[in-house]
């Protein structure tokens, strides 16, 4: 199973030019993926594209036939044109998709910092694996920590729900909103976390459960141990940051550690200000 995670900055390259086709071509060149997780996908927002409205989800759906598309808008507001401005995460899957949930992440008040709503888009593939696609707070450290703690709690809640007997009265049936769709404990969490290795937010993700087991494990460390993470921003001349570092990650639940075959960072493309992450897992969910 191959997964790509990439903050595409709505198609804005390191050169400041918005051209979503460059991101699309980069993904095609990078390989054949079962699941594609993208952050900063825009719909509307002419102000981000020289006055021209965008429809990133529609463009990406058209570019990757055979994939189902699931868009989680973190921001959804009115546009001057009368349409809607939406901004969030998009997951494309060519594996069967069951339950899809959009989890709003905490946005506590933090004086002196701009705020943008954030979400985690959860997609269950083949009834056996949850793919969580997220993008955390950039400006406020306290908000980012709260969001990481929420992602930690989300996994704990999932595990607890699996241990708790469900409805047995017969009222729960297929075709209603109460249908008990699969929500497995095995999961993969990816995206732009807007902080570096060793930061408090990432430490919160890896806190152990009551059995002493880490809730999330960094797939990079699973592959390379203490080798420093490759840089995922500041690599190809974008106006920020002032130095290269890593802020994009893929995490897995402990049961998947033995399935992690490789994790790579493509540092060549300048189609975004972030670099794509490519994960290979020894899983075959097609059967």
Q: What percent of the chain has pLDDT over 70?
A: 98
Please write the tens of the pLDDT for every residue from 197-224.
Answer: 999 999 999 999 999 999 999 999 999 9
Collect all residues with Cβ–Cβ distance below 8 Å to 138 and sequence separation of at least 6.
116, 144, 194
Residues 21 and 6: beta-carbon distance below 8 Å: no
Coil/strand/helix, residue 226: coil
Centre a 10 Å sphere on the Cβ of residue 248 and count the other Cβ atoms it contains: 24
Domains of the chain: which residue ranges?
Answer: 2-165+179-281
Structure confidence by residue, pLDDT tens digits, 92-103 = 999 999 999 999
CATH number corresponding to 2-165+179-281 = 3.60.10.10
Kindly report, residue by residue over 221-259, the tens digit of the pLDDT: 999 999 999 999 999 999 999 999 999 999 999 999 999
Tell me the two tokens of residue 206.
């890896």
Q: Classify each residue of 191-218 as buried b or exposed e, where b means 16 or more C-beta atoms within 10 Å of its C-beta.
A: bbbbbebebebbebbeeeeeeeeebbbb
pLDDT of 148 reads 98
* Confidence grade of residue 42 (pLDDT, cut at 50, 70, 90): very high
Structural tokens at position 164: 């708790």
Give the model's confidence band at 171: pLDDT under 50 very low, under 70 low, under 90 confident, else very high.
low
Mean pLDDT of 37-41: 99
């Amino acid at each position: 199973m191959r997964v790509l995670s990439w903050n595409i900055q709505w198609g804005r390259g390191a050169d400041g030019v918005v051209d979503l086709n460059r991101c699309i071509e980069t993904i095609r060149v990078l390989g054949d993926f079962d699941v594609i997780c993208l952050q900063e996908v825009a719909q509307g927002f002419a102000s981000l594209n020289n006055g021209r409205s965008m429809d990133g989800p529609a463009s990406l759906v058209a570019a990757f036939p055979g994939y189902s598309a699931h868009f989680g808008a973190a921001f959804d507001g009115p546009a001057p044109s009368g349409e809607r401005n939406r901004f969030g995460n998009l997951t494309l899957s060519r594996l069967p998709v069951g339950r899809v949930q959009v989890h709003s992440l905490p946005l506590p008040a933090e004086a002196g910092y701009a705020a943008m709503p954030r979400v985690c888009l959860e997609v269950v593939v083949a009834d056996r694996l949850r793919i969580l696609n997220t993008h955390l707070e950039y400006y406020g450290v306290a908000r980012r920590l709260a969001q990481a703690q929420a992602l930690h709690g989300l996994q704990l809640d999932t595990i607890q729900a699996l241990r708790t007997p469900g409805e047995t009265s017969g009222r729960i049936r297929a075709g209603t909103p109460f249908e008990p769709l699969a929500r497995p404990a095995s999961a993969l969490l990816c995206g732009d976390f807007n902080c570096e290795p060793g930061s408090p937010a990432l430490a919160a993700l890896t806190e152990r459960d009551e059995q002493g087991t880490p809730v999330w494990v960094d797939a990079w460390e699973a592959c390379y141990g203490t080798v420093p993470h490759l840089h995922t921003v500041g690599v190809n001349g974008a106006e920020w940051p002032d130095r290269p570092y890593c802020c994009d990650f893929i995490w897995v639940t402990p049961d998947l550690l033995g399935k992690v075959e490789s994790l790579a960072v493509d540092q060549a493309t300048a189609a975004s200000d972030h670099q794509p992450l490519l994960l290979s897992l020894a899983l075959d969910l097609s059967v």
